[in-house]
Amino acid sequence: MTYPADRPATWFVTGTSRGLGLELVRQLLDRGENVAATTRSTERLVGALAGTDTSRLLALPVDLADEAQVTQAVAAATDRFGGIDVVVNNAGYGFLAAVEEVSDAEARAMFDVQVFGVWNVLRAVLPGLRARRSGHVINVSSVLGLHSFPGWSLYTAGKFAVEAITEALAGEVAEHGISVTSVEPGYMRTDFLRPVSVGLPAATTDAYPAVRTLVAQHLDEIPGTQLGDPAKAAAAIIAVATTGEAPLHQLLGSDSLALAEGKIRSLADDLEASRALAVTTDVQAAEVV
């Protein structure tokens, strides 16, 4: 994709009333871009943008799990601005619990937003991007989409799914002139670990004291100490779109890099430990009929 130089670009961004999404919208408006911003509360979004010129903002109340609402939002953005150039799937929330503690309803609610919500947006925007033979899809994942940890099973399951969707999509739409990037931030100083943005299980068990310690650390100790600056992360996402030079996987934050490097080392160790048994399951040449 060549980022439009002769006109404001139009961005479609989900999850915009807090944190990274809000900061991204603010910076895009300050740049003079058009922004269609989805949120569960347009009042909260507009209120948070007090002092910012919102003449190029289209605030859209959308339940991302509702395909019809998503389709209508994309149509409204297209009608208002004439087309969409950059799509940022940013909506999501955290969830801290052991695997055994996650209920069916809690798991489905997470996937409705974090996986099916992304899929709803992609189905709605891709026909227009293909018709224009340009565009950039940026899926905001997490370094926890590459590396899971105890207590993070539900959140990371959703982010692992986003990574898979992103990789497949990149191969599918390259011939249509569409770029695709997965952005993988580390811990950022946002509301992500506050009660408004993190879920907890309805029921717990005393079988996982280490998970209870992890939850306490994330809710009581980590907030305010995260390395990531959401303003810098938003600027990095804009750079991903405007320069067109990002790899498929764009990590953000030194902690993200360190965790991803640890995952690579762990996976390499498993490859070597698996090698001897792995090769024994091939059909041998003499057995081939």
DSSP state of 220: I
The 10s digit of each residue's pLDDT in 243-261 is 988 899 999 999 999 999 9
Contact 151, 211 (CB under 8 A): yes
Burial bucket for residue 27 (CB in 10 Å: 0-12, 13-18, 19+): middle
194 has which bridge partners?
none
167's torsion region: left (phi>0), alpha (psi -120 to 50) or beta? alpha
> How many other CB atoms are found less than 10 A from the CB of residue 69?
17
94 has which bridge partners?
198
Please measure the distance between the N-terminal and C-terminal CA atoms of the chain and give it in whole angstroms: 49
The 10s digit of each residue's pLDDT in 124-138 is 999 999 999 999 999
Active site residues: 141, 155, 159
Per-residue pLDDT of the chain (289 residues; tens, 9 = 90+): 678 888 999 999 999 988 999 999 999 999 999 999 999 899 999 999 999 999 999 999 999 999 999 999 999 999 999 999 999 999 999 999 999 999 999 999 999 999 999 999 999 999 999 999 999 999 999 999 999 999 999 999 999 999 999 999 999 999 999 999 999 998 877 766 666 668 899 999 999 999 999 888 888 877 777 787 899 999 999 999 999 888 999 999 999 999 999 999 999 999 999 999 999 999 987 665 5
- Domains contained in the chain, CATH given: 10-255 (3.40.50.720)
Q: What is the pLDDT of residue 288?
A: 58
